[in-house]
Structure 1
Amino acid sequence: MGSFFLSQTRLLLFGFFISFFAGFGQTFFISIFNLEIRGLLNLSDGQFGILYSLATLASAIVLIWFGKLIDTMDLRIYTFIVSLGLACACIGMFFLTNSLFMLFVLIFSLRFFGQGAMSHTGTTTMSRYYVSDRGKAISVGSFGDVLAMMTFPIIALYLIQLIGWTHAWLFSGLSILIIFFPLYLYLLKNQTLLHKEFLKKTNEITLQKSWRIRNVIIDKNFYVYLPISIAPPFILTGLIFHQVFIITNKGWGMELLASSYIGWGIFSIIGLCIGGPLIDKVNTKKAIPYYLFPMLFGILFMMFFEHSIFIFLYMALLGITNGLWLPFTGSLWVELYGVKNLGAIRALMHACMVFASALSPIMLGLIIDYRFGTFTIGLFCVVIILFSSYFPFIFRN
């Protein structure tokens, strides 16, 4: 284990930090500014939810094309483009006016460059340059995402109180330019040599099939494993986006919710620590049918119990599946389709994931609008989990 961390420390740190700074484009950060954004443009919850989902859907479509460029473009240039885009989007929020079009463009940019391209860059890099330790590498990189989720909402609330919400966005954008830019240039200092070694190893695998997007979308395995790969972002985004409704109906309170995010983060880390080494030892296709089970039990706790202790069990079990999801899905597509065109294939998968995360706020919002409660929301999520796990379980051998 020690030799793994020491062998390519810079590359592992790059995966960690790009996942960390991608947090500025994630729902858990943007949703902190929900009230201020809606107040500025006089939007209802539903109106902002629709705009947010449409911008996210648009970002998913563009990512299918843009994501494959990582296969042919120097990683340092690609990282420069996506991180500069996210920084500009954050700074743009500082200048936001009473314009729906401007808000749409900025939300699109935050989602595309943050949740989309930067997260895609981190996972693709870890998957591509590691073979025997791929699971552990993806887990290390994914620590950045988990740490961002644990800290960014708290930092955002503090900055809003200290300097105001628009200046909090300005601070976020400047932190990318001042901290991440010089950091990633240092961490990718030996990228040219590293990529040459990767190309040499890839060319030596002469019998490996070169999968392209057109081959993938007609392959049975793609449709067997797609639902279970996008189920966590679909469910988690919907539950987080409508978390105020859920905790209000359960009588849990915002203070308990804020505290429970610490448990989410801790158990996400536990999931990462379990998932990474596990898939380095076993076939991912055989293990993946079971990784949604912690989330299943967490949602069942939310559905049937009211006591405040169950918010911590609910969030902890969601956190375990969130931690398992990152290395499991990162490794799965490499096992199925290899690394030669990994950027294009992962871009397709990431776009599907973003597309799913855009749909869930609308679908769960409709359940709420039709005056159904948390039990119906939970039941809907349980059906998604069982359906998603069925086909990978049948075809696991």
Structure 2
Amino acid sequence: MGRQALAQSVNRRVFYGWIMVFVAGFSIFASGPGQSHTFSAFNALIAADLGITNTELAFAYSLATVGAASLLPLFGRQVERFGSRRSLMGVSLALGLACLFFGAAANFLWLVAGFGLLRFFGQGSMMLGAANLVAQWFSLKRGFAMGLMALGFAASMAIHPTLARVLIEAFGWREAWIGLGVMTWVMMLPLLFLLVEDKPEDLGLRPDNTQEPEAAGGHVPALGGATLAEALHHPSFYIVATGLFMISGLVTTLHFHQYNILASQGLEAKWATLGFWFTAISMVLAMPLVGRGFDRFRTRYMFAAALCVQATTLTAVTFVTSVPTLLAYSLAFGLNNAFSMTLFGYIFPRYFGRLNLGRIQGTGQMVAVVGASVGPVPVSYALDFWGDPVMTLRLLSLLPLAAALIAVVFLRTAPQVKGYEHLE
């Protein structure tokens, strides 16, 4: 039975888009080697092995992430040209090789290159391809579908730091990266080859499995939307991109420095690892509610809520000095991650449509990844020179509050996109 015949057979029982959500969620999980929560388990060992400071490590990470971000618009065009299936297969192969390369890092420049490859193929391309896949298959239920997809990130946040620590203790930090690379190939390549279909139209279907736009009350838009040039001339692109820049940068800061921040406040590494588990559980519980919220409520209010939760989380981490306060912070951070991961895939098709989604999302994701690149630097500086990041984190929390106010007042849908009036 061919791949499309298998997909048609499955679709007679359950909408095949939900299979794409499963694969996309697994892809988000497999992006773990390129995510900050995985690096967090390695940072102290890498710095000690290569003889560099926290600031130098963060600079390497930032420099590499900026380079990776600059390539994401190009990857977005490749997704439009080749489809999510072939693009994600190439990314999975490359991400495994990047893990092997990173594990062999012998100096600062090699470290920068390794960070760049992991960030581009993991945190950037793998996540962009997965989000694009789900966005093509869902419209009315896109928020809920993105929320389910993002459970893969919660699983990664719970499993990858723990797995990294186990591999490090058993084999060493360099050998641990070999294991992570091989696991990426084993998990992703067969799944992508056998199951993925790029768009519902390839199987004669429509997003959400609707028959006609009128069947859903007129809310399901046809394949259409703004071009990249039109998106770049609309104020909402810059409001969304600025908000994602802040969310991406500040979430990355907390992931990247969780071990260091909590250590500066008197908690051992094992509690930082446990904190990731608490955060993952909170994220899993919050995801369905956040996803449903995006499908039901005005998007600009949900976007502003995400930014306010980000500000709350940055403040909450500065009060963590015990297990109860760690639990409270982790619950807030889980909600923070639920919002940020849903926004990542939801916001650009919502405001600019599906027509040129790869290019628009690639450009927007480039801005977000630049945010991720610079986010950890202020806290790294505070840790190295003051040994205390509390005031820095509290000052950073003011930025998303300002962005939330701007979003509520000015964020609107591009005129080329129809069918979302109930969310405007």
TM-score by length of 1: 0.90
Looking at secondary structure, tell me which structure has more helix per residue.
1
Identify the residue that residue 169 of structure 1 maps to in structure 2. 177
Match of 1:345 in 2: 360
1:60 corresponds, among 48, 66, 69, to 69
The alpha carbon displacement at 1:36 in A equals 3.2
What is the SS of the residue equivalent to 2:41? helix
1:195 aligns with 2:202: yes
- Aligned pairs (5 A) from 1:146-295: 146-188=154-196, 190-191=197-198, 194-195=201-202, 197=204, 210-295=225-310
How many aligned residue pairs are there? 392
The aligned residue for residue 49 of structure 1 is 58
Partner residue, 1:74: 83
Q: Which residue of 1 aligns with 2:131?
A: 123
| Distance of 1:241 and 1:191 partners within structure 2 | 33
1:150 Cα offset (Å): 0.5
**Match of residue 87 from structure 1:** 96
Structure 1 stretch 100-109 or stretch 313-322: which is displaced more?
Answer: 100-109
The separation in 2 between residues aligned to 1:64 and 1:30, in whole angstroms, is 25
1: CA distance, partners of 2:100 / 2:331:
34
Does the CA-based 8 Å contact 2:72-2:362 persist in structure 1? yes
Q: Measure how far apart 1:304 and its partner are.
A: 5.0
| Contact in 1 for aligned 2:308/2:404 (Cα 8 Å) | no
| Whole-Å separation in 1 of the counterparts to 2:12 and 2:311 | 33
CA distance in 1, matches of 2:164, 2:148: 24
Aligned-pair Cα RMSD in Å: 2.8
**Closer, same or farther in 2 for the Cα pair 1:15/1:244, shift >3 Å?**
closer
Name the amino acid aligned to 1:391: I
Name whichever of 39-48 and 78-87 sits farther off: 39-48
> In the alignment, is the contact (CA less than 8 A) between 2:137 and 2:200 conserved in 1?
no
CA contact (8 A) 2:79 2:87 kept: yes
The gaps in structure 2 that reach 5 residues or longer are 1-10, 214-219, 412-423
CA distance, structure 2, for counterparts of residue 281 and residue 102 of structure 1: 47
Q: Which of 137, 141, 164 lines up with 1:133 in the alignment?
A: 141
CA shift digits 1:230-267 (9 cap, x unpaired): 32221121123233442233223323222222110011
Shift of 1:177: 1.9
CA contact (8 A) 1:272 1:326 kept: no
Measure the CA separation in 1 of the matches of 2:169 and 2:409.
Answer: 52
Q: Percent identity?
A: 21
Offset of residue 328 of structure 1: 3.2
Indicate if the aligned counterparts of 2:313 and 2:336 stay in contact, CA closer than 8 A. no
**Partner amino acid, structure 2, of 1:98:** A
Shift of 1:68: 2.2
Give the alignment partner of residue 335 of structure 1, picking from 331, 350, 356: 350
8 Å contact from structure 2 (residues 200, 206) kept in 1: no
Query: Quick check: 55-64 or 280-289, which moved more?
Result: 280-289
Q: Which residue of 2 aligns with 1:364?
A: 379
Is there any run of 5+ residues in structure 1 with no aligned partner, and where? none
| Structure 1 counterpart of 2:42 | 33
Distance 1:130 1:365, change over 3 A: same
Shift of 1:288: 1.8
Deviations along 1:84-140, whole A, 9 cap, x unmatched?
A: 11011112234x152433322221111100000001011111112111211121111
1:299-338 to 2 correspondence within 5 Å? 299-303=314-318, 306-338=321-353
| Deviations 1:40-69, CA, capped at 9 Å, x for gaps | 332222222211110111000011222222
1:331–1:198 distance in 2 versus 1, CA, 3 Å: farther
CA–CA distance in 1 between the matches of 2:60 and 2:205?
41
